[in-house]
Amino acid sequence: MMSEMRRVTAIRNGTVIDHIPSGRAMQVIRILRIDTSRATPVSLVMNVPSDKLGRKDVLKIEDRELSREELDRLALIAPNASIAIIRNHSVAEKMVVELTEDLVNIATCTFSNCITKNDREPLPQRLRIFSHDPLEIRCYYCGKVQEIDELIENIL
């Protein structure tokens, strides 16, 4: 009975994002800039028991395949996510998310006095990963530690 309840409708074409940390699925929707007011059907399952994460969220997005650049963004909040691209009801491609050391033009620095806020001297937005576990992200220019929740607000 429980397994019946957890099952999500299979999709014909699109992307399945599995192993999202529990409670982060809405942030994934946001970081991928999925416009939920538009017609894209999105199924979201929260708090599914997982061997790897304890609890996880799973997201299914119809008629959309994630690009490499989107996977880099996703890595910020779901570094252990696994991605399946579905075509014609079957898994066409599997991808893993990888957090690169350098995050270029993914999000802007959260420090208001950062040099990157100076419009007269345009610089690429550049954040660096200092530690994976626990995750520590700093601005390449000012060195300020970036809070993930704040960073998500600053996604480009």
Residues of this chain that bind Zn ion (CB under 5 A): 109, 111, 114, 139, 141-142
Q: Which two tokens mark 52? A: 């790897």
Kindly state the smallest distance separating residue 71's Cβ from Zn ion, in Å: 24
Nearest approach, Cβ of 64 to Zn ion (angstroms)?
32
Name residues whose C-beta falls within 8 Å of residue 11's C-beta, 6 or more positions apart in sequence: 41, 43, 60, 62, 86, 89
- Give me the least distance between CB of 114 and Zn ion, in Å please: 3
- Helix or strand run (H / E) with residue 31: helix 25-31
**Nearer Cβ to Zn ion (78/107):** 107
Q: Which is nearer to Zn ion, 91 or 115 (CB)?
A: 115
Cβ atoms within 10 Å, residue 16: 19
| Closer Cβ to Zn ion, 107 or 114, answer by number | 114
